[in-house]
Chains A and B, each alone.
Chain A
Amino acid sequence: MTGSPVLRRTLAVLGVLVGVWLVVPTLIVVPLSFSGEDSFAFPPRSWGVQHYVTFFTEQSWLTALLVSLQLAVIVTVVATVLGTMAAFALARSRFRAKGAVDGLFLAPLIVPGIVVAVAMYAAFLGWGLIGTPTGFVVAHTVLALPFVTVNVTAALSGFDRTLERAAASLGASAWATFRSVTLPIIRPGVLAGALFAFVTSFDEVVVSMFLQSPNLQTLPVRMFTSVTNEVDPTIAAASTVVLVVSTALLGLASVTRRNRRHA
C-alpha cells in the first residue's frame, strides 16, 4: 500500500467506520442483556444479571439451550465423520462426473436456505421426521456437511501421499496408516470443519422453524418465538450466549487454520 498519508488516513477511518457499522448493531444485545429492567430500553437505566438468571432457570429457555447443544454435538460428530469420508473419496478418485459431484456437495451452501427448508419439510413430512430428533440431526447434517468437506479437502490437497506409501512399507495397514499418519497431519482441517459444523447447527433457524414441534424447539427457534409472541428481554441474554459460543468457536477454527499454515 503506497499513497499519500491523507489517502491512507482516510482509508483507515473508512475501514473503522465499516467495521463499526458491521459489528455494533450486533453488540447492542450485550449491554441490553445486562439491563436491570424488564424492557428493551436502550441505553439501560440500570444494570443487572436478572435476564441471565431467567435464561438459565426458566424451563422453556433451558430446554431449548440443551436441545441446541445436544443437537450441535451430534451433528458435529456425524457431519465430521461423513464429511471427512466424502472429502477422501472426492480428493482421491477420478471419474467423469466428479465436477458435478463436487458441486453437489457444495449445494447446501448455495441453494437459498428457505428453499432447502421447504424441500426438507415436504420430504420429512412423508417420512414422519418432522418434530423428531432424527429429523433435526439429518437436516442439520446436510447443512453442516459442506463446511467439513471443504476444510478437509483443502487439508488433503496439501497432503503428500508418499507418506502413506512410506507408512505401508514400514508395516502399517491402511487403517493404521490413516490413524497414525494421515489423520494427525490433516487434523487442523478436520477440526476447523467440525467447529464450523457445530456453529452451523447451533445457530441454524430457518430449517429448524419448519421442523420444530411444540415439544422440540432449538434455541434459535425459541428466540424467534419470543420475539414474535412476547416482549421478553431474556432474548438479549440468549442472543449474547449464542454470540459468545459462535464467535469463540469460529475464532478457534481460525486459530487452528493459522496453525496449519505454520506447520
Chain B
Amino acid sequence: MPETPTGASIRAEALTKVFKGAPAPAVDAVDLHVRPGEFMTLLGPSGSGKTTTLNMIAGFEAVTSGRILLDDTDIARLPPHRRDLGMVFQSYALFPHMTAAENVAFPLRQRKVAKPEAARRVREALELVHLDAHGDRLPSQLSGGQQQRVALARAFVFAPRAMLLDEPLGALDKKLRESLQLEIARLHSELGITFVFVTHDQEEALALSDRIAVFRDGRIEQVGTPAELYETPVSRFVATFLGDSTVFSGTLRGGLLDTGSAHLRAAGPDGACALVVRPERMHLGAEGENTLSATVTDVVYQGAFRRVLVAFDAGGTGQVRDTGTTPVQAGDRVEVGWAAEAGVVVADTPGAAAAQSLDDPVPA
C-alpha cells in the first residue's frame, strides 16, 4: 500500500512510568529494541505494564523518565498527533458519524493530501482489507470484524512509521479472531512496516510474532522468538505463561535436582531453580533418565493426542501429552518418564498465575 515501505526502529531506553499515588512503577526502566519491519508482541498478564508501554510509545501517556527513539529521534515528549504512528484499538474507535471511507480518509485529510490522491489511497487501503464494497457504510452498519478491518486500513493508509495495536482482537469472538489474525499477519508482510502488538493471549503472540517481549510487574522478563521463549524460557514465569508445562522446584547440584522428595536428572548450574518440562517431552512409561510414579487425575481427549493430568506420588502435579494407543483413565497408576535433556532449568520466579499453587501446571 505505501509506495515506499519504511519500517522504523523503535527503541525504549530506561522507559519508566509512575502513576501518581501508585506504590510501584507501572513500567520500570524498560529497555526494548524493536527492529525495522519487525512484528514485536508485548505479552503479559493485565497490569504487567505492556499497555502502558504502548501508550507511552503512542504518546497517550506521559513518560516519567527514559527515552523513546523512533529511528534516531527521541519522540518521548512529542504530542501523539506528531508521532506518525498508526494505532489500532481494542474498541475499534471508528468515528461513528463518518462512513468507512471517510474514516480511512481522516488521516490523509489531516495531512492535506490532495483529493484525487487521497481517494485513490483510501480505495487501495479498503481493497487491502477486502472492504472496498463497504466504503459508504457507517460503522454501525458493519460487523465487529469489518469495523476492525476499517480501523486497520485507517491506521496504515497514511504510511506511518510503525503500527501500534492494542489488543485489536480482544473484542471479537474466537472464529473472527483467528481470521483477523491471518489478516494482520498478511498486512504485516505486505506493508513491510514495524508492528508493535499488545496482547495477553499467548497463542496469538506465538502465532503472529517475529519476537515477543514478556512483561511482568512493569519489567520485561524475556525477549525472544516464539521458539526461544518456548524452548528456552529464562524463568518459571515465562515458561508457565507461554504454553503448558510441568514444573519442579528444588536445588540443583551436580546435575541432580533435589525436590525434597525426589531426585531428577537435569542440566544446569548449581543452586535453587525450577525444572520445566513441556508436556510433549514427557511420556507415559518408565523410559528415560527420569521416571516418577503418578496417579492419573484427568484425561482430556484432543483428537491427535490426549492431555493427561497426573499427580506425582512425590508431590506436585504434571501434564503429559500422550499419543499412545492404549488410553489411560483417571485413577490409573502410571509411570511418567522423560530424558534429562528434555527439561529446562530456569530461575524459580513465581509462576504466571499468582493464584496457582507453585507446582501446578498452567492449564491451557
Task: List A residues at the B interface (Cβ < 8 Å).
Answer: 160, 162-163, 165-173, 176-177, 180-181, 184-185, 263
CB contact list, B87-135 vs A, under 8 A: 87, 89, 91, 93-97, 106-107, 109-111
State how many angstroms separate the Cβ of B53 from the closest Cβ of chain A.
Answer: 16
- Chain A residues with Cβ below 8 Å from B91 are 160, 162
Given contacts A165-B60, A165-B89, A176-B110, contact A171 B95 (CB under 8 A): no
**Which of B77-85, B207-215, B230-238, B347-355 lies at the interface?**
B77-85
Question: For the side of the interface on B, what is the size category?
Answer: 20 to 34
Task: Determine which residue in B87, B93, B97, B164 has the highest number of CB atoms from chain A within 10 A of its CB, and name it.
Answer: B93
Residue of A nearest to B83 (CB): A169
B158 on the A face (CB < 8 A): yes
In whole angstroms, what is the CA distance A176 to B83 when docked?
A: 16
Besides A162-B89, A170-B106, A185-B96, 19 other A-B contacts (C-beta < 8 A): A162-B91, A165-B89, A165-B93, A166-B87, A167-B106, A168-B81, A169-B58, A169-B81, A169-B86, A170-B87, A170-B107, A170-B110, A170-B154, A171-B84, A171-B107, A171-B111, A173-B81, A176-B81, A185-B95
B59 on the A face (CB < 8 A): yes
Which listed residue (B79, B80, B82, B95) contacts A163, Cβ 8 A?
B95
B110 touches A172 (CB 8 A): yes
Of the A-B pairs whose beta carbons lie under 8 Å apart in the complex, a sample of 11, sorted by A's number, is A162-B93, A165-B58, A165-B87, A166-B89, A166-B94, A168-B81, A169-B87, A170-B86, A170-B154, A173-B79, A185-B97
- Chain A residues with Cβ below 8 Å from B89 are 162, 165-166
In whole angstroms, what is the CA distance A62 to B255 when docked?
A: 104
Residue of B nearest to A176 (CB): B110
- Chain B residues with Cβ below 8 Å from A160 are 91, 93
In whole angstroms, what is the CA distance A121 to B50 when docked?
A: 60
State how many angstroms separate the Cβ of B343 from the closest Cβ of chain A.
Answer: 45
A170 touches B158 (CB 8 A): yes
Interchain residue pairs A-B with the least CB separation, the first 10: A169-B87, A171-B110, A166-B93, A170-B107, A168-B80, A162-B93, A168-B81, A184-B97, A172-B110, A171-B107
In whole angstroms, what is the CA distance A167 to B58 when docked?
A: 12
- Chain B residues with Cβ below 8 Å from A185 are 95-97
Which listed residue (A169, A181, A184) contacts B85, Cβ 8 A?
A169
- Chain B residues with Cβ below 8 Å from A167 are 81, 95, 106
Task: List B residues at the A interface (Cβ < 8 Å).
Answer: 58-60, 79-87, 89, 91, 93-97, 106-107, 109-111, 151, 154-155, 158, 164
Residue of B nearest to A166 (CB): B93
State how many angstroms separate the Cβ of A177 from the closest Cβ of chain B.
Answer: 8
State how many angstroms separate the Cβ of A94 from the closest Cβ of chain B.
Answer: 11
- Chain B residues with Cβ below 8 Å from A171 are 81-82, 84, 107, 110-111, 158
Given contacts A167-B106, A171-B84, contact A181 B79 (CB under 8 A): no
- Chain B residues with Cβ below 8 Å from A177 are 81
- Chain A residues with Cβ below 8 Å from B107 are 170-171
Task: Determine which residue in A163, A169, A185 has the highest number of CB atoms from chain B within 10 A of its CB, and name it.
Answer: A169
Given contacts A160-B91, A162-B89, A162-B93, contact A168 B79 (CB under 8 A): yes
Residue of A nearest to B86 (CB): A169
- Chain B residues with Cβ below 8 Å from A180 are 106, 109
Given contacts A185-B96, A185-B97, A263-B96, contact A172 B106 (CB under 8 A): yes
- Chain A residues with Cβ below 8 Å from B154 are 170
Residue of B nearest to A162 (CB): B93
In whole angstroms, what is the CA distance A263 to B164 when docked?
A: 29
In whole angstroms, what is the CA distance A183 to B85 when docked?
A: 24
- Chain B residues with Cβ below 8 Å from A176 are 81, 110
In whole angstroms, what is the CA distance A176 to B110 when docked?
A: 8
In whole angstroms, what is the CA distance A181 to B151 when docked?
A: 15
- Chain A residues with Cβ below 8 Å from B82 are 171
- Chain A residues with Cβ below 8 Å from B86 are 169-170
A172 touches B93 (CB 8 A): no
- Chain B residues with Cβ below 8 Å from A173 are 79, 81
Residue of B nearest to A184 (CB): B97
In whole angstroms, what is the CA distance A219 to B155 when docked?
A: 55
Given contacts A162-B89, A176-B110, contact A169 B95 (CB under 8 A): no
State how many angstroms separate the Cβ of A261 from the closest Cβ of chain B.
Answer: 14
State how many angstroms separate the Cβ of B138 from the closest Cβ of chain A.
Answer: 10
In whole angstroms, what is the CA distance A173 to B84 when docked?
A: 12
B95 touches A181 (CB 8 A): yes
A163 touches B81 (CB 8 A): no
In whole angstroms, what is the CA distance A184 to B97 when docked?
A: 7
B84 touches A163 (CB 8 A): no
Residue of B nearest to A181 (CB): B95
Residue of B nearest to A173 (CB): B81
